[in-house]
A and B are shown apart, each in its own frame.
Chain A
Amino acid sequence: MTLLPHKFGPYGGQFVPETLMPALIELEEAFVAARADAAFQTEFNKLMASFVGRPTPLTYARRLSEKLGGAQIYLKREDLAHTGAHKINNALGQALLVKRMGKRRIVAETGAGQHGVASATAAALLGLECVVYMGEVDIARQEPNVFRMKLLGAEVRPVSSGTKTLKDAINEAIRDWVTNVRDTHYLLGSALGPHPYPTIVREFQSVIGREAREQMLLDAGCLPDTVIACVGGGSNAIGVFSGFVNDEQVELIGVEAGGSGIETGKHAARFGDPSRGRVGVIHGTRTYVLQDEDGQIAETHSVSAGLDYPAVGPEHALMRDNERAFYTSATDEEALSAFQTLCHTEGIIPALESSHAVAEVIKKAPTMRKDQVILVNLSGRGDKDLNTVIKELN
C-alpha cells in the first residue's frame, strides 16, 4: 500500500523494475514527511522567494488583447523565475528532498534543457553532484542550455540511442538510477513517470496556480474564464491548473505539440491523434502514449524540444477523460507565429514550448467577449530557442 494514492483513475501506477521500488517507497515517505514538516516548508518557501524570485508577476497583455479584439489576456510570468522557466520550482523542491534522504547525487533528463539547467542550479545551490542526460538531437538544438548546465557544474551526458530526444534521455537517466540507486536520486522534471513523481511534481508546481489565482483576483478582480498552458509531460500545465481545478466555471485547456500537423503523423499530440495515441505503459506510468499497432513507442516531432515526448502525464489523462480539462494542439508553424506575435506586441520572448499556449490564445481570444478573461501560463523564456527560431524563420 502506498501512503498517497498511486493512481489517477486508471492511469499512473509504478511500472518499474523491482530494483527501483524501494527507492520509490523511500521517496514517497520522504515527501509525505517533508510536506508535514513546517521547517521543510519554510526552507522551501524561503528559497522560492529569495532564490527563485517568487512570486512571479502576472502581466496584463494589453496590446495582444487589443490586437486579438476579444478576451482580456493575462500572462503568468514563469519565464521570470530564476533560470528562466517553471522547472526550477520542482527541481529545488526535489533537491531539498534529496538532502533529506541523505543522498548525494542526482541524475536528471532534459529535453529543452530547462529542467537540466534547473537541476544543475539546484545541485550547485545545495552541493549535490549532478549528471544530466540529454538526447543528441536536443543538444544540437538547445546549445545555450548545454553550456549553462556545464557552467553550473553539471556533467551533460549525450544520449545517442533511439530517437536521441527526451524519451531516450529518460531511458538513460533511469538506467543510471537503477545502477546507482543507493546514493542517487532521479530528479524527474515533469509530471510523469512512476508514482510518486506525478504527485510530487504537481505539488511543487502548484505554487504557479496558487499565486496566479490570488493575482487574478487582485489584479483583474475576477477568476479567468479560461486557463491555457502547453503540455509536454505536463508539469507547468498541472501546476497552473491545480490552482483552478476546484473552480468549476474555469475552463482548462492544455496545448500539445501539433508538429508538422496531426495528419502528417509528425507531431507529439497524444490526445490529438486517436489512431496512435492509445493507453499504454511507458517510463513507469500508464497513460496515453503515441505508439504503433505492436506497442512500440512512436517517434515524435516538435519544433520545441520540451514538448517532443510520446506520453502525457497520467493526471492529464484522467482530467481529459472526465472532461475537467480540454486538450488541443498547435503546429510548429502556429507556435513560431505566436512566438513572433508575443515578441512584437508585448516585448516578451517566450520559449517555443510556451508559444504553443500563446498560439491557442491567438485562436481562442477573438471568439470570446471583451469582458472575458484568459490566463496563459508563460512557462519559460525563449533565449534558448533563438538558434532554432532564426533557422526556422529563414
Chain B
Amino acid sequence: MNRIETAFQKKPIFMPYFPLGYPDLETSVNVIEALAKNGADLIEVGLSFSDPLADGPVIQQATQIALEKGITVKKSLEAVKELRNRGVDIPLILMGYYNPMLAYGLERFIRDAVEAGADGFIVPDLPMEESDEFVEATHASPLQPPLIQMLAPTSTDERMEAIARNAKGFIYLVSVTGVTGERREISNDLGELINRVRAHTSAPVCVGFGISTPEQAKQIGQLADGVIVGSSCVKMIGGSPKPVETAKQFAAEFRSALSELRK
C-alpha cells in the first residue's frame, strides 16, 4: 500500500497546504514538519510561481515572498528530501503551476520529486485535455505517482465521468467557482456536488477552496473524504510570530474537529 492509500484508511482526512520558502525556506520546512507531526494526514506542499492565476491574495502574497527570498524548484525538492530525513512519513503532494515544471524538464522533475519523497502532484493549470504529457512522464517513474485530477462545480456530468475514470490517488473537488481563499460560508449545494462526483468514482473525494475554520472542516468532513485547507493555514501560520507553534496548534485543532468523524 502506498502512502496515499495508507492515509485514506481512516476518513475524513485533514490536508493542509503550505508553500515552501514562506516566510523563508527553513521556517517553511519546520512548519510542514510540525503540521505533519501534529495531525495532518497529507500535506499539499506548494511550489511557487510568479503568476498563480488560480490563487487568491493570501497565497499570491506568500508565494511571491517565497520567490523574493529565492525559492526555486530545485530548493523545493531538496526541502522535500529534508522533510523525509526528519521522519515525515505522510503523503506529500507537490502543488504547483505547470511552467516551472516544464522549465525544469518534465521527466526530470517527476523523477527528482519522487526521489526526494513526493507522492503525487497537483497542477491547477493542467485540465484533462492537457494532462497526457504529464501522465506519460509519470510512467517513466517506477512509483507511477498520480497526477491528482481536479473537478469543479462547473464540471458537467460528462466531464466528471471522463475525469474520474482515470483518477488516481484521490479527487480534488473545488468547492466553489473562484480562486483559493477563505469564505464565510459553505455552499449549500456542496452535498449534491459531492454526490454527483461519487456517482462516477470510488476514489476518495477531497474538498478544497474556501475552508478556513475547524467548524467548516467538520461540516465538510461529514460529506467528503478529505478536507483541504490552504489560505487560512498560510495566513494563520505566516502571520504568526511563532509559526511552528501556530502550525502545531492549527493542525491539532483541525484534526480534532475531524476526529470524531474518522472511521
Contacts and interface: CB of A to CB of B under 8 A. Distances in A.
A178 B155 contact: no
A18 B150 contact: yes
B150 A289 contact: no
B156 interface: yes
B103 A280 contact: yes
B144 interface: no
Interface string B34-68: 00000000000000011111101000100010010
B53 A175 contact: yes
Interface string B78-116: 000000000000000000001111111000000000000
B73 A295 contact: yes
A284 to B, nearest CB: 7
A292 to B, nearest CB: 8
B51 A17 contact: no
Contacts of B50: 162, 296-297
Interface in A280-322: 280-284, 289, 291, 293-297
A16 B159 CA distance: 15
A291 B102 CA distance: 11
A283 to B, nearest CB: 7
Interface residues of B, number: 40
Interface stretch (A19-27, A42-50, A119-127, A243-251): A19-27
A22 B99 contact: no
Nearest to A13: B130
Interface SS of chain A: mixed
A147 interface: no
Contacts of B127: 14-18, 21
B179 A297 contact: no
A101 to B, nearest CB: 14
A296 B67 contact: yes
A167 B49 CA distance: 13
Contact of B49 (A6, A161, A174, A296): A296
A171 B156 contact: no
B202 interface: no
B154 A182 contact: yes
Contacts of B102: 279-281, 295
A281 B98 contact: yes
Contacts of A171: 51-53
B217 interface: no
A22 B174 CA distance: 14
B152 A283 contact: no
A168 B51 CA distance: 8
B162 to A, nearest CB: 11
B160 to A, nearest CB: 10
Contact of B99 (A17, A175, A295): A295
A15 B104 CA distance: 18
A1 B223 CA distance: 33
Contact of A22 (B52, B104, B159): B159
B72 A294 contact: yes
A79 B252 CA distance: 63
Contacts of A15: 98, 125-127, 130
14 contacts: A13-B130, A15-B126, A18-B128, A21-B128, A21-B155, A22-B154, A162-B51, A162-B64, A279-B102, A280-B102, A281-B98, A282-B51, A282-B99, A297-B51
Given A19-B153, A21-B127, 6 more contacts: A14-B130, A18-B151, A20-B154, A178-B177, A281-B98, A283-B51
The 6 residue pairs across chains A and B that have the minimum distance between CB atoms? A295-B103, A295-B100, A19-B152, A179-B178, A296-B50, A295-B99
